[in-house]
Structure 1
């Protein structure tokens, strides 16, 4: 009996010891890496005290006597809250992820080394002017001051459990790392590479007339961002280069919104500007809000951890918001073997836990040759395929442009600040307290000859631009930008229905205010669905469930809030209709090309291109009423299998959640729940409050949505409203890791005011003082 008791006590003690060790590890890994947000810290590299006051939402308000000290403070705060994210971004661009994460990222590293991103980042450092360089150097010193105090993120300690990532430690920050973050943004927003490959394959599957319908041009009934009246005095006939003047495709649901109204359309009599850029959702998110109290004025808005720049925001006199232009700025150029002069070099990709991978990179005068081992270019045959991209231009001065925009004090300075910008090509909406509103673009837009070869770029002073438009409005939902009387071709990919809805809602109110802007940013009524409802109402489903779905949608207005069961039925139908509509034509390639296909679907069900409704695999000639009904029957069968037979209890939010993925730990047992953030949301890829889910598969998880929302009030800039998600901090044990996600989903917001000092900071703030010294 004593032996048994001793055994029990032994194993009980062993279990207790293991539990204590485990608890100690988690405390060491997580609690030990939480940022210190209050107190005083001595750091090297400062000329005077820097005060970082984090408000109740974790937003740092940074005060210092010199500009360099303020940027140092921003670097310190970024490293406190977001260093692992910064590390992953720089490694992605530099082709060094596999050093940290092992062989699973070798393909990513190889592709970015072949593209030449590390060289672009190095060139970006060399291109910095003196002021931008000084800001970047001070910022870098601030990052490294935090690193000198120990591990800044729990990921480094958690990854010690994995033998392949053992001893993975943070490295010091360098200027080229800041430049890499800028290149990362260009990579995420540049358009053209995937579309080129997809079109090549579609040309093999579809007849030319089918391809023209499958990839239709932007509809003439949909709005352009700029109006012909604003180009009347400078109207020109687009140059004949053998290409369609507006070879555009309405196939984009991933984008951004922005609109600006002049004072004649606002309640205050001063301009209002709204911006909500749509990006891939992640934990932490791409943006980090900050207020920089610089000696020559305040700058407030969204920074990207890794760079000392307020990319989207406002200063004391103006505000700016960006959306992606959608211009085609990437081509895959095809050459016969031997036609180009090629230089080769060999690089080694270090792989943690494995052998290094040797990579041969072939470079032509216009861009890198794509290696079929890493790029899906088999459809091009036995030729050299060259990637030509504005994102690879070595004159990249995007960091300097962002710095000069922050400092601009007038429309003229704002426009001039963009000179030297390369990529990503952006729509830039502008408002000033003097009443000026405007729109400009910055970046390189290729000019092409009849063979698609690049002959140069649209001159900067001839890019789409307008100051104080006649209508008093510039509204962007990633729709087509230029009117027909613009002098240059602008091929690209543009969305349709968000811009339609934005303009409709702006028309409904004579005098807009912050609240009406906020309501529009959160709008979840699909203008696309509203146009398709008559076709659904006229359909011929064969099952009882399909008929009930038809009847429910026939009385629906197209609104997609989280509580709607009609929204879920519609989403199930839209996915099933894609297969019924073009799955027969595409065959085994259908999974690759399934998408929202807004233009195609609208042209078929509203515009009368009904031949697509016929199932070419059957002898009968199906009409659209039959095909829409077949999709309703299939959708309801799928929905009942997934969500149960009680349709009244279905809700869009139960199936449709925004998922903020962690770059490493999402999907891993135990860690997923700690690092991944999920939040039910309404809307879909066509709504103003966009929420893009994959068309392929069974999941409706949202992977792309509003990365931030901002509304800038020129009558009182401190009353401007902001929100992003999931939170300011990248540390999962911080109260600011996921606190903003429910607020973001509900349409709430907060102010980032500049009318207080560290001495009278709002209640709930935490103050950290950095002091010079070792």
Structure 2
């Protein structure tokens, strides 16, 4: 009996260990193939895929069809769970896998109708674009069929991916154009602030921060006409700049890009790849899993990158419901019926789908339904099919001059971005790619009257009326989500949600030197001097003097604004800036003082005395130095003087890493790591305060960095923030992370000879016999 008991106990002890190691062993077979030969149905000709030491593939195919098939195969092999989550999120189908917790997200996504947009857009596809998408989807599905063990997330959650379809690509493409707007859109918050602080809020928001430069200098009509008719024979926030040959140490144009996206999730956003076919496609850069093609990079002739433009292409309208028929609204054209539609949303562990009744109008979906009125969101994306965006994206890969580039990037639908351009001939340029609504002079941040025709858009400005720059006399062009034009010099308003800070630092650096090298551009991308600090550190020093803290005031005066992880001054500044809205807005907004952050710059820049004064102190009138001192005293009393890296962390989580046993078993999460930077440094860190942990966590930062000197196309450097693979068993799960943290570069050549010389493995996809 004792012996049997010992055997049972031993089995109970050994079984978890066996499950632990055997499970890991089995799941390791889900890793992508990097070498060998695979016969597969779907490719028409042999395809070679080289991989370098960091797992960056370059595909060599006979046809574009085989090229797109192979990219779909690679995306699925490295990012299938990311793609599945994205597809479910966009289409409003998360509840089916995750249950009640995701239901409200699904309702919102169904209301915005991305699923429907993808389905309807199929009819708008050109034959060429449809063929490219069909080949890409076939590659994804071929990998799913080929792999006997799917990535760990599918096994753990017990879900199987449905076959990938063209409508999935189109839904994702549509959502990508919405995503930037949804991050930037602050109109509901601005309206709430106006309710508390008065209509002057809107006036402040429409006043440009003239201390922050614009991307496009004033252009005369003659110069604009000349550039348009020139015979051209010869790109969450982001930074991108281009340098002309006269300011380049190599004598060729230089192109730099580092888009700022979420870096706190596994895997990273981008998948780096080179695409080469005998039919003429030759392009290298970053791709988006779920969509074919390179969206930023170069093709050996031109380079292209983008930043979020922050143009306001969203408005909110209040429509009165028709008193005679509550399912109609009053519009400038009279009483118009609401579109009523039912959405069936499946929820995990529920036998029947839930039904939701939703409403839409010719102007956009209804987001708020009241007894006497509805609120409708008007977005430019409702007017443009993602089919056009997909066609333009694929066409851009083969562009070879600025004229073609302009036409293509202004046909990306509602993608609200600034595009930067350079080419092998030495030209540089900039083009706003966002569709610009033709508006009357209205307050775009207010809730507009849907019955008033004056407050509605009347189409979009044509290409020849959009801001651009070609070979500027300065020898450089830069865009950092800042003001695009000087409002006083431009013929129509361009309201938006612009960042005034990083462009000030970029402009300073680009004006300081006569010539720039690749190394100079590397240094700029890693620059940690904050435009926020340089603009406002004097106010913090003034606050220190109101506290009679002359030692701290001198420290701030002598500080260069560098937000390094080891700096105590940087930590004090960042905490001060975080809590400065408290003494500024608490008397008006109470516990909602944090929402005042949205208009803090405008309030301080304008010296808005009625807001800055604390109404709770009676006859005493507080000035800016007083509120600065109040915030500084709070910071010193509450937090002391830590180093910035002690309170500013990068934590990278996998979606399943919230379950600690899974994190331990699979090694999913990374961090915390001390980190520097803020939203005003070129090496950006968009962090947020976590009250429970009393520290900042980084949300967004450079998601990739590239620099191209056209003097040596094979010298192109690019790296992501984490790794090529989303599979924790892959050697490429996080092999970019340390390089990214240290600002080191990874060279990815372009020519076949040099790519093959640097390859570490070769995978061949062969037609199935």
TM-score, length basis structure 2: 0.89
Deviation at 1:537, TM superposition (A): 2.0
Aligned positions of 1:21-170 closer than 5 A: 21-28=19-26, 30-150=27-147, 151-159=149-157, 167-170=158-161
CA contact (8 A) 1:521 1:688 kept: yes
Counterpart Cα distance in 2 of 1:512 and 1:445: 34
- Is the aligned partner of 1:448 residue 2:443? no
Given the alignment, which residue of 257, 277, 285 partners 2:268? 285
- Is the aligned partner of 1:656 residue 2:656? no
The equivalent residue for 2:357 is: 360
- Is the aligned partner of 1:617 residue 2:609? no
The equivalent residue for 2:638 is: 638
Deviation at 1:75, TM superposition (A): 0.8
SS at 2:272 equivalent: strand
Deviation at 1:436, TM superposition (A): 1.6
Deviation at 1:672, TM superposition (A): 4.3
Once the two structures are superposed, what CA deviation does each residue of 1:541-575 show, in whole Å capped at 9, x if it has no partner? 7889x776545333311101122122111111111
CA contact (8 A) 1:565 1:652 kept: yes
| Segment of structure 1 superposing worse, 348-357 or 140-149 | 348-357
Once the two structures are superposed, what CA deviation does each residue of 1:153-191 show, in whole Å capped at 9, x if it has no partner? 2101122xxxxxxx4111111111111221231121125
Given the alignment, which residue of 557, 562, 566 partners 1:559? 562
Query: Gaps spanning 5+ residues in structure 1: where?
Result: 160-166, 236-253, 373-377, 641-646
Deviation at 1:468, TM superposition (A): 1.7
CA contact (8 A) 1:37 1:766 kept: yes
CA contact (8 A) 1:192 1:328 kept: no
The equivalent residue for 2:743 is: 747
Counterpart Cα distance in 2 of 1:615 and 1:541: 19
Counterpart Cα distance in 1 of 2:81 and 2:587: 46
- Is the aligned partner of 1:220 residue 2:210? yes
Counterpart Cα distance in 1 of 2:721 and 2:141: 26
SS at 1:525 equivalent: coil
Distance 1:177 1:651, change over 3 A: same
The equivalent residue for 1:299 is: 283
| Segment of structure 1 superposing worse, 486-495 or 462-471 | 462-471
Counterpart Cα distance in 2 of 1:470 and 1:437: 11
Given the alignment, which residue of 314, 317, 322 partners 2:306? 322
The equivalent residue for 1:248 is: none
Given the alignment, which residue of 420, 425, 428 partners 2:419? 428
The equivalent residue for 1:688 is: 682
- Is the aligned partner of 1:390 residue 2:395? no
Aligned positions of 1:498-509 closer than 5 A: 498-509=502-513
Q: Count how many residue pairs are aligned between Structure 1 and Structure 2.
A: 723
Counterpart Cα distance in 1 of 2:674 and 2:596: 24
The equivalent residue for 1:768 is: 763
The equivalent residue for 2:257 is: 275
Once the two structures are superposed, what CA deviation does each residue of 1:446-472 show, in whole Å capped at 9, x if it has no partner? 112354311111113321123222322
Counterpart Cα distance in 2 of 1:68 and 1:277: 29
Distance 1:216 1:482, change over 3 A: closer
CA contact (8 A) 1:323 1:476 kept: yes
Once the two structures are superposed, what CA deviation does each residue of 1:345-402 show, in whole Å capped at 9, x if it has no partner? 1111011123522111211111111146xxxxx8xx8421111111222433111111
Given the alignment, which residue of 6, 9, 16 partners 1:11? 9
SS at 2:535 equivalent: helix
Query: Gaps spanning 5+ residues in structure 2: where?
Result: 226-235, 323-329, 331-335, 443-453
Once the two structures are superposed, what CA deviation does each residue of 1:78-115 show, in whole Å capped at 9, x if it has no partner? 10000111111111111111112211111111111111
Deviation at 1:231, TM superposition (A): 5.0
Deviation at 1:4, TM superposition (A): 4.4
- Is the aligned partner of 1:626 residue 2:622? no
Counterpart Cα distance in 1 of 2:590 and 2:688: 19
CA contact (8 A) 1:257 1:478 kept: yes
Distance 1:70 1:112, change over 3 A: same
| Segment of structure 1 superposing worse, 147-156 or 531-540 | 531-540
CA contact (8 A) 2:282 2:397 kept: no
Distance 1:670 1:21, change over 3 A: closer
Distance 1:713 1:616, change over 3 A: same
The equivalent residue for 2:585 is: 582
Distance 1:181 1:210, change over 3 A: closer
CA contact (8 A) 2:564 2:677 kept: yes
Distance 1:477 1:633, change over 3 A: same
- Is the aligned partner of 1:756 residue 2:759? no
Distance 1:466 1:723, change over 3 A: same
Distance 1:621 1:489, change over 3 A: closer
Counterpart Cα distance in 1 of 2:730 and 2:182: 36
Given the alignment, which residue of 509, 524, 527 partners 2:528? 524
Given the alignment, which residue of 332, 344, 349 partners 2:345? 349
Counterpart Cα distance in 2 of 1:53 and 1:230: 49
Counterpart Cα distance in 2 of 1:38 and 1:191: 41
The equivalent residue for 2:243 is: 261
Given the alignment, which residue of 519, 529, 536 partners 1:515? 519
Counterpart Cα distance in 2 of 1:676 and 1:128: 40
Off by >6 Å, runs of 4+ in structure 1: 541-544
Deviation at 1:335, TM superposition (A): 0.7
Counterpart Cα distance in 2 of 1:463 and 1:41: 49
Deviation at 1:694, TM superposition (A): 1.4
| Segment of structure 1 superposing worse, 82-91 or 563-572 | 563-572
SS at 2:459 equivalent: strand
Deviation at 1:232, TM superposition (A): 5.7
CA contact (8 A) 2:706 2:718 kept: yes
Counterpart Cα distance in 2 of 1:735 and 1:639: 40
Once the two structures are superposed, what CA deviation does each residue of 1:42-61 show, in whole Å capped at 9, x if it has no partner? 11011111122111111011
CA contact (8 A) 1:80 1:152 kept: no
SS at 1:409 equivalent: coil
Given the alignment, which residue of 390, 394, 399 partners 1:403? 394
CA contact (8 A) 1:436 1:468 kept: yes
TM-score, length basis structure 1: 0.89
Distance 1:416 1:207, change over 3 A: closer
Counterpart Cα distance in 1 of 2:341 and 2:281: 48
SS at 2:87 equivalent: helix
| Segment of structure 1 superposing worse, 268-277 or 148-157 | 148-157
Deviation at 1:628, TM superposition (A): 1.6
Deviation at 1:131, TM superposition (A): 2.2
SS at 1:305 equivalent: coil
The equivalent residue for 1:675 is: 668
